[in-house]
Amino acid sequence: MANYTVQQVAKKMGLTSYTVRYYHDHGLLPFVKRDKNNNRVFDDVDLEWLKMITCLRSTGMPLDQIKHYFDLVIDGEETVPERYQIMLDQQKKTLDEIQELQQHLNTINFKVDHYADIMKSHEPDSFEPSNIREKEANKAKVDSK
């Protein structure tokens, strides 16, 4: 099994050394060993725990909840139902966020298409306030005749 320093782990995981140390110091990496110089020594199992921390943090789970989840993992098989519920809740939260992001992406895609059409047709931007007012003013002139 390979061993890694804090700096190697940070680089491998795309984190800062500070973040790796912070997670360790707050009990999220409970199996990290120390060498004879008291430096942290990580192995592949520690990297798996760190991947899970990164995943859960990226989906918005607070560190105290991640710590609780990991404590349950350490406590053993009898905690599987509670761990399952934690993951189920996080899954729902993440799916809701994906749906919201998809709606934002749809709006952005609409604007990208809109601006591409403007550049292609050389027409004024129909959503620009000054163009809207001008269009309304021209329509009012036509309607009053």
Give the architecture-level CATH label for domain 6-75. Answer: Orthogonal Bundle (1.10)
Q: Would you list the domain boundaries of the chain?
A: 6-75, 109-144
Helix, strand, or coil (residue 61): coil
Distance CA 114, CA 94 (A): 30
Angstrom CA distances, 141 to 125, 134, 138, 145, stand at 21, 11, 5, 7
For residue 137, pLDDT beyond 70:
no
pTM of the model: 0.76
Q: Residue 72 — very low, low, confident or very high, per pLDDT cuts 50/70/90?
A: very high
- 61: how many CB neighbours lie within 10 A of its CB? 19
Q: Residue 129 — very low, low, confident or very high, per pLDDT cuts 50/70/90?
A: low
